[in-house]
Amino acid sequence: MAMDYAKCAKEIYDTLGGRSNLVSAAHCATRLRLVTVDNSKIDMKKLENIDGVKGVFSNNGQLQLIIGTGTVNKVYEEFLNVSGMTAATKEEVKAAAAAQQPLFKRMIKALGDVFVPILPAIVASGLMMGLVEALGKAIPSFAGSDWYGILDLMANTAFTFLPVLIAVSAARVFGGNIFLGAVIGMIMIHPSLINAWSVGSMDAAEIPVWRLFGFFPIRQVGYQGHVIPVIIAVWLMCVIEKWLHKHVPEMIDLFVTPLCTVLVTAFITLGIIGPIFSTAESYVLEFAGWIITVGHGVGAMIMGALYPLTVVCGIHHMYNVIEAGMLSAADGLNIWMPIASAANFAQGAACLAVGLKSKNLKTKSVAIPSSLSAALGITEPAIFGVNLRFVKPLVCGMVGGAAGALLGSIFHIGATSYGVTGIPGFLITLDYTVQYAIVLAVAFGVSFVLTWFIWKEETEETEETGKAASDTTTASESETVQSEKALFAPIKGNIINRQAIPDETFAAGVLGDGVGIEPEVGEVVAPFDGEISSVTDTRHAVGITGPGEMEVLIHVGIDTVNMNGDGFELFVSEGDKVKAGQKLMTFDIAKIKAAGYSTTTAVLLTNSDDYPEFKIVKTGKTNTMEKVFTIE
Amino acid sequence: MQKFSYVIKDEVGIHARPAGLLVKEAKKYESTITIVKDAKSAAATKLMAVMGLGVKCGDTVDVEVEGPDEETACAKIKEFFEANL
């Protein structure tokens, strides 16, 4: 069916009340998504009747017009023409609709999003590395053995190739092609480049340099152990890739876009980002070497505090140079090691405090092994996976690190080697066992206690708000619930896995992911602020659309459609706006049972495929308005 | 565009389970599949929209299929209706 895109766009534009009522426009596969100043000015009926518009609804401040695959983009282009707006991406529309978060917060969040998926790999490696290195120090004969060789290889693989893992994860977070991301990561640690870990011990003159056009220098140095430059490079790659996709004609897009993306990103990374970081690194290194000699431990204290930040930037691998320098000097003691050790141990303590205090199972399961790994001297999992994400534990850990480092300096602890910190550090501080133990204990204690009291799990607050909403069922109190993309229990009862719902279709997830609830009370309340998207004449099921376009089906009982509404009472109708906790429906548990049906109620996110992450946070006994699952 | 009309024979109409199966089937095709009942229409890939039509036994629905694979899609969807609804 040929359709007049221009006419359709023009009619939509006219119905919306002109340019002054428009904020932004974008489209997805089937819908034209608009943000308007005032939705109430718009005649929805008229919109729906426009030829080419298959449906209209508004959601989260967005007005969405269903137009259809293959046609929506053409209508969109015409719409931009008639309205005089510029193209916006879906993300931009979402951003315009949502309140803007401060830049710093978004950056920390991006860092966390990049790190969380790769945590299993680095937690495993961190623990193995800590154990293998400790054993190597404890039993000198083991260090040279074949066993050590093969275990060390297995342990350090994830760290050796960390930039690749980060690049893949970052490409996913920033919406680029993950394989191109992997290529960028691999370019940055290509074996033809000198390993970043060995650069520190080389003279500047020894480092080979490519000279492009005869003058533009690129040092042939890799990015082993780096985090931030990799994320920046991949972010850049994604920006370039998306731009090219938009501007390169489709015919040649498949080979032009990846080629140009990789080439441009790699040049900018090695040519510009690299030098900036290596210059910054050498300054930090010089600063670090200088500051620990300052004023009776004050400098050491400052370094103890700043140390985790240098880990975040990936500069810590340069410190071996400082330590090696100290050991080769006349008195030959490594006074850097206690500082690093205190800092690492404190981060581990902060992470442990989070792990013990958190009620979120996922946080717990990440934090506890991460803290163990940090106690063995490998802090990346603890810092990136836990502390940095919540910020406060990182800061508390910094204070603990500072306290430990100050003591270490006052005790004049000196290590006889380098390469291990934390508990294995005892092996290279044999003359100072007691002092070293005190340093670790203080760093641990300060950090743990501070974190325990200062850090509060954010989700707890929302849960409480959720409960408050169910008690009072007032509009204003449930606002926190709305801002989060979560579903709160619509029924009091026992939450079971979707797979355990006694109905094949529900259990198999044909209708989306979710949970079952064995109800104790025959009342259904709204699981979030939203709009009733469907009700049935038989009154036993209700569909509701909520935050983040979650479409949830609450289907009371199994096969209860056959009861034809007997025993069910519905309090809302299609299109009604409801507040979280508001009563939607009541049902007669006894009647359902008497009719021979199961009362197990399916609570399903019917569009769960649209979200990369679906997490069940509660099973078992629940009250209404307890958080059941979240999406991202 | 391909289209066909169909009278629902399933006792419960296009309710949760059949609707879920229909959506799953409709998602297999590139074409846009629209279910029309009286003045209301819904994209067949949207479960809530499909259920929102409130199609009951004995109702007549029009199914419109439009897109690159409309011929196969239409035939398959028709088969699906006959087998399940």
Probe site for chain A from B27, B32, B38 (most A CB atoms < 10 A): B32
Mean pLDDT across the stretch A525-547?
85
Give yes or no for a contact between A312 and A228, defined as CB atoms under 8 angstroms apart: yes
Q: What is the pLDDT of residue A484?
A: 63
Six token digits for residue A281 = 């690194």
Q: What is the pLDDT of residue A296?
A: 74
Contact A553 B48 (CB under 8 A): yes
By Cβ distance, the residue of A30, A537, A553 closest to B43 is A30
CA A202 from centroid of its chain's CA atoms: 37
- Cβ within 8 Å of residue B27, ≥6 positions away: B45
By Cβ distance, the residue of A505, A537, A551 closest to B20 is A505
Whether residue A95 has pLDDT greater than 60: no
Mean pLDDT across the stretch A184-200?
83
C-alpha distances out from residue A11 to A1, A33, A75, A88, A134, Å: 19, 15, 11, 20, 72
By Cβ distance, the residue of B16, B42, B66 closest to A511 is B16
Six token digits for residue A327 = 């050991």
Q: Residues of A with CB below 8 A from B41's CB? A: 54-55
> Which residue do the tokens 């290889």 mark?
A153
Give yes or no for a contact between A513 and A612, defined as CB atoms under 8 angstroms apart: no
Q: Residues of A with CB below 8 A from B65's CB? A: none
Probe site for chain B from A51, A511, A555 (most B CB atoms < 10 A): A511
Identity of residue A343: A
Whether residue A93 has pLDDT greater than 60: no
Whether residue B69 has pLDDT greater than 60: yes
Mean pLDDT across the stretch B38-67?
85
Most trustworthy range by pLDDT among A151-155, A332-336, A467-471: A151-155
Integer Cα distance of A269 and A277 in angstroms: 10
Integer Cα distance of A153 and A59 in angstroms: 52
Q: Residues of B with CB below 8 A from A45's CB? A: none
Six token digits for residue A295 = 């004023």
DSSP secondary structure letters along A101-115? PPHHHHHHHHHHHHH
Six token digits for residue A534 = 């469907």
Q: Residues of A with CB below 8 A from B10's CB? A: none
Neighbour tally for A250: CB within 10 Å: 7
Q: Does A606 touch chain B (CB under 8 A)?
A: yes
Residues A198-255 pLDDT 10s: 766 666 677 788 888 877 888 888 887 777 888 899 999 999 998 998 888 878 888 8
Q: Is A28 one of the annotated active-site residues of the chain? A: yes
Closest-CA residue of B relative to A510 is: B20
Q: What is the pLDDT of residue A86?
A: 62
Exactly one of A316, A317, A540, A555 is catalytic; which is it?
A555
Neighbour tally for A609: CB within 10 Å: 12
Mean pLDDT of chain B: 86
Whether residue A494 has pLDDT greater than 70: yes
Q: What is the pLDDT of residue A478?
A: 35
Three-state DSSP state, A192: coil
Mean pLDDT across the stretch A423-449?
90
Most trustworthy range by pLDDT among A337-351, A549-563, A610-624: A337-351
**CA torsion, ordered A422, A427, A428, A429, to nearest 10 deg:** 80
Instruction: Count CB pairs under 8 A between chains A and B.
Output: 84
Contact B47 A562 (CB under 8 A): no
Q: What is the ipTM of this complex?
A: 0.80
Beta bridge partners of A32: A27, A65
Q: What is the pLDDT of residue A348?
A: 94
Integer Cα distance of A255 and A497 in angstroms: 45
Whether residue A15 has pLDDT greater than 70: yes
Q: How confident is the model at residue A463 (pLDDT cuts 50, 70, 90)?
A: very low
Q: How confident is the model at residue A467 (pLDDT cuts 50, 70, 90)?
A: very low
Identity of residue A563: M
Q: How confident is the model at residue A440 (pLDDT cuts 50, 70, 90)?
A: very high
Residues A98-117 pLDDT 10s: 444 567 767 777 777 787 78
Contact A555 B16 (CB under 8 A): yes
Whether residue A630 has pLDDT greater than 80: yes
Whether residue A183 has pLDDT greater than 90: yes
Q: What is the pLDDT of residue A347?
A: 94
Mean pLDDT lowest for which of A365-379, A428-442, A475-489? Answer: A475-489
Contact A534 B49 (CB under 8 A): yes
Q: What is the pLDDT of residue A475?
A: 34
Q: Does A100 touch chain B (CB under 8 A)?
A: no
Six token digits for residue A560 = 């209860």
Closest-CA residue of B relative to A541 is: B16
Whether residue A317 has pLDDT greater than 80: no
Six token digits for residue A525 = 């309340």
Q: What is the pTM of this model?
A: 0.48
Percent of chain A with pLDDT over 90: 18
3-state helix, strand, coil in chain A (%, to 5): 60, 15, 25
Contact B20 A510 (CB under 8 A): yes
Give yes or no for a contact between A511 and A551, defined as CB atoms under 8 angstroms apart: no
C-alpha distances out from residue A20 to A37, A40, A57, A358, A626, Å: 8, 14, 20, 48, 42
Q: Is A247 one of the annotated active-site residues of the chain? A: no
Integer Cα distance of A352 and A375 in angstroms: 10
Reference A541, options A508, A506, A584, A595; nearest CA is A584
**How many angstroms away from the CA of A264 is the closest CA of chain B?**
34
Q: Residues of A with CB below 8 A from B39's CB? A: none
Q: Residues of B with CB below 8 A from A536's CB? A: 15, 51, 54
Closest-CA residue of A relative to B52 is: A534
Six token digits for residue A501 = 């719902």
Probe site for chain A from B11, B51, B65, B66 (most A CB atoms < 10 A): B51
Q: What is the pLDDT of residue A470?
A: 38
Integer Cα distance of A417 and A281 in angstroms: 23
Give yes or no for a contact between A612 and A485, defined as CB atoms under 8 angstroms apart: no
By Cβ distance, the residue of A55, A71, A537 closest to B54 is A537
**How many angstroms away from the CA of B3 is the closest CA of chain A?**
12
Q: Does A505 touch chain B (CB under 8 A)?
A: yes
By Cβ distance, the residue of A55, A503, A511 closest to B43 is A55
Reference A73, options A104, A27, A115; nearest CA is A27
Mean pLDDT across the stretch A76-95?
66
* Dihedral sign (CA A222, A225, A226, A227): positive
Contact B21 A510 (CB under 8 A): yes
Q: How confident is the model at residue A126 (pLDDT cuts 50, 70, 90)?
A: confident
Mean pLDDT lowest for which of A372-381, A388-397, A454-463? Answer: A454-463
Integer Cα distance of A558 and A502 in angstroms: 7
**How many angstroms away from the CA of A581 is the closest CA of chain B?**
21
Residues A361-375 pLDDT 10s: 878 888 888 898 888
Six token digits for residue A221 = 């140095």
Integer Cα distance of A65 and A93 in angstroms: 14
Neighbour tally for A507: CB within 10 Å: 15
CA A531 from centroid of its chain's CA atoms: 28
Beta bridge partners of A621: A494
Identity of residue B4: F
Most distant CA atoms of chain B, gap in Å? 33
Mean pLDDT across the stretch A446-460?
84
Neighbour tally for A599: CB within 10 Å: 22
Whether residue B43 has pLDDT greater than 50: yes
Three-state DSSP state, A181: helix
Give yes or no for a contact between A517 and A601, defined as CB atoms under 8 angstroms apart: yes
Q: What is the pLDDT of residue A468?
A: 37
Q: How confident is the model at residue A88 (pLDDT cuts 50, 70, 90)?
A: low
Give yes or no for a contact between A351 and A387, defined as CB atoms under 8 angstroms apart: yes
Whether residue A439 has pLDDT greater than 90: yes
Which residues of B are catalytically annotated? 15
Q: Residues of B with CB below 8 A from A537's CB? A: 54, 56
Reference B24, options A508, A72, A556; nearest CA is A508
Residues A280-306 pLDDT 10s: 877 887 888 888 777 778 888 898 899
Give yes or no for a contact between A393 and A448, defined as CB atoms under 8 angstroms apart: no
Q: What is the pLDDT of residue A472?
A: 36
**How many angstroms away from the CA of A614 is the closest CA of chain B?**
18
Three-state DSSP state, A5: helix
Mean pLDDT of chain A: 81
Neighbour tally for A278: CB within 10 Å: 18
**CA torsion, ordered A503, A507, A513, A518, to nearest 10 deg:** 60
Mean pLDDT across the stretch A264-275?
88
Reference A109, options A308, A485, A389; nearest CA is A389
Exactly one of A28, A245, A260, A313 is catalytic; which is it?
A28
Reference A478, options A511, A551, A536, A527; nearest CA is A527
Q: Does A66 touch chain B (CB under 8 A)?
A: yes
Contact B52 A553 (CB under 8 A): no
> Sheet containing A627-631: which strands, arranged edge to edge?
A486-488, A627-631, A614-616
Q: What is the pLDDT of residue A394?
A: 93
Residues A20-44 pLDDT 10s: 777 777 777 677 878 777 777 777 7
Angle between helices A162-173 and A228-247 (to 10 degrees): 40
> What end-to-end distance do the CA atoms of chain B give, in Å?
22
